[in-house]
Amino acid sequence: MRSAICTLFEGNYHFGVAALINSLSNQGFKGSVFVGFKGSLPDWSNAATDDLSLDWKGAKTLSLNPELKVHFLPVAISSHLANHKPEFMLQLFAGPCREIDRIAYFDPDIVVRCNWEFFETWMSHGVAIVHEIISNDMPASHPIRKEWEKVAKVCNRTVKHQITSYINSGFFGVSRDCIDFLELFVEVIKVAKANYNFEESGFHFVSDRSDVFYARDQDALNIAAMCCDCPISEMGPEAMDFLHGGFTMSHAVGSPKPWNKSFILSALKGMPPSMADKAFWANVTGPINIYPSSKIKTTLTSIKVAGMIGRFNKKS
């Protein structure tokens, strides 16, 4: 089975993309990483060259080593990149990844913590998805889920999976034989745009959780997971280090991101370095060197100091 990785970014999220790629390399991934982007490419990609073989206008490829390539694909869309995830993956399956069996999507603020083979095994059991920590207890009878069933009905779908937890959209792994999940994901977004308060150009939450599409793409993903015909395979919030005890990924949700954070100042405000902060800075070297060694040394020292401050000054 051949697998590929994809992500989407703009702005300084390229720091997260680099750390993600480093973590994948460190955990044994071999193959291609497809990076959709808006705007300009970062300095660390300067060695990338035009790649006509991908049949994607403006595509460039960076060969990090004989077993790992990064393909940069310009994305010319008006919508926020978060709402483009399933469409991007379908375009990859139909085009540059036509010979690929599985694609795993990662947000550009995630790093991988375990051997890549585990992800291969995970995706072999169905669409790989992870529970959120917020609203994690979301039973099948939850009123929002009952409203989501109405959305599914517009898509001529019914509930196939009695999911009892809210799903995070930062990662999902899809095999080609589970492509129905992506097609339904795209269809739900289209229905939401036509019939609900779904602003495709936005990312931040709208109104409050009583809104059917409060979290836009994430709610659409939850409906797709409930109603797709293919199997799914779920892990709890510890799979993204939202809780202690995980081993698969660290997801730096919220703001500021690890590459923007002043760790000592945050610790003085009662917010010590998180697991995701530490995981990011553990993956800033090789095969992509994001920062000079002096910057890395200084930041790692500040993380240690911030950790000590956090022992005595932590928000309750």
The domain ranges of the chain are 3-240, 254-312
Mean pLDDT over each residue of the chain, to the nearest integer: 95
205 — pLDDT class (breaks 50, 70, 90): low
Query: Is the distance from CB of 57 to CB of 96 less than 8 angstroms?
Result: no
Residue 198 has what pLDDT?
A: 75
175 — pLDDT class (breaks 50, 70, 90): very high
Asked whether the predicted pLDDT for residue 53 surpasses 90, the reply is yes
Q: Pull the structure tokens for residue 98.
A: 């036509």
Query: Over the stretch 159-171, which tens digit does the pLDDT of each residue have?
Result: 999 999 999 999 9
* Percent of the chain residues past pLDDT 70, beyond the cut: 97
Provide mean pLDDT across the span 248-256: 96
Half-sphere exposure of 301 (CA within 13 A, CB side): 6
Distance CA 8, CA 103 (A): 13
Provide mean pLDDT across the span 101-106: 98
What's the topology of domain 3-240? Spore Coat Polysaccharide Biosynthesis Protein SpsA; Chain A (3.90.550)
For 38, phi then psi, to 5°, come to -110, 145
